[in-house]
Amino acid sequence: MPSNPSAGASDDALQSQIQKRLTLNLLIQGAAAHTFLTAHHLVKAELEQLHPGLTHLYDRLAISAHLSYWFGEIPLFYGPPTWFWGTIWRRSHPFYRHRLLSQHGGAMSLASKKYLLDRARVKKVQSWPVLHAVHLHGLMWTAARAERKHQEQLGELACRAVSEIWDIPPERLHPHFTTDVAFGDLHRPRTWVGRFTQAAASGFGGVQRCDGRMEVIAKAVNWPLVAHELVKGTAELVCLHGLNQLEESVYQQVTEEADQIEYETPLLQAGAEVWRRLLAVSPSDRPLAEMLMHLSQLEPQPLEDLMLLVLGDPEQARVHLQRLGE
């Protein structure tokens, strides 16, 4: 069961919970990024019936959009990923205390980038830095035109795909195609980069209480992003099982520190590869949501140790994951 530090918790106990939350955020962002790249294939026939060629368009759009975390406009504001991960040894770095990210974050980011570049070559997606941005905007415009008359059906297909992956009732998923994506009680960004990121976001996903029940809300500009945000909200809902025994004041301190929007870019860079490696060693007979729930309920140190095994000793990680929840 998760620890329950009091409002007067020691700094070490509070820091442990913050680092755990960062690990869970890494998994949440990784799960969402993986869905962003793959979910449309679960409903390929239906997408093609709505608009022939839509699946191939989503393939190219998802690859190009995810590459933008290494090329184009995002690194102009956040700096080159190699610089961010290469300076993690500095005490001022936001992930300095996080053992998993400090040891493996840079390597996971590079592995994610390589995976995308390999996919880009297969799908003929432009990956030269300057041309990439032009190509991406063209794909976004093409997707917006293709989706314009089918948003209700596309929303249903997004719910079906996410429900199939996470075994969540589709009626608890609420997709919205919109450019007005902000909703809920967003954390106030601490930096101008965070304020820009929040204002320029193409999608938001999360959990809201509706009629006494926690529901997943996703607002985004196109189908791959809607699916991405639905999964982000669903994974967040699952991970609440690991945080719901924290006192409210401690929970607020933990999320205020760990959920900064400035962290989403590096967590997306590294998270996709971490999630792929976790899936590779997860029990095939156990629902994905159950596996993530058990991870979220681990104490901070055992969770970190297990994720280090996932990246460093996959066979041992497989054994430990099989025993989770027993």
pLDDT along the chain (326 residues), means of 10: 46 90 96 95 97 97 94 82 92 93 96 96 90 92 95 97 95 94 82 85 88 90 96 94 80 89 94 97 92 94 97 96 84
Q: What is the pLDDT of residue 6?
A: 42
Q: What is the pLDDT of residue 5?
A: 43
Q: What is the pLDDT of residue 79?
A: 84
> Is residue 223 helix, strand or coil?
helix
Q: What is the pLDDT of residue 7?
A: 43
Residue 77 DSSP label: H
Distance, CA of 278 to CA of 310 (rounded, Å): 6
Q: What is the pLDDT of residue 147?
A: 96
For 62, residues 6+ apart whose C-beta sits below 8 A from its C-beta are 36, 37, 40, 224
User: pTM of the prediction?
Assistant: 0.92
Q: Which two tokens stand for residue 98?
A: 């996080």
Q: For 91, phi and psi rounded to 5 degrees?
A: -65, -25
Distance, CA of 99 to CA of 307 (rounded, Å): 10
176, 217 in Cβ contact below 8 A? yes
Q: What is the pLDDT of residue 102?
A: 96
Distance, CA of 318 to CA of 320 (rounded, Å): 6
Q: What is the pLDDT of residue 9?
A: 55
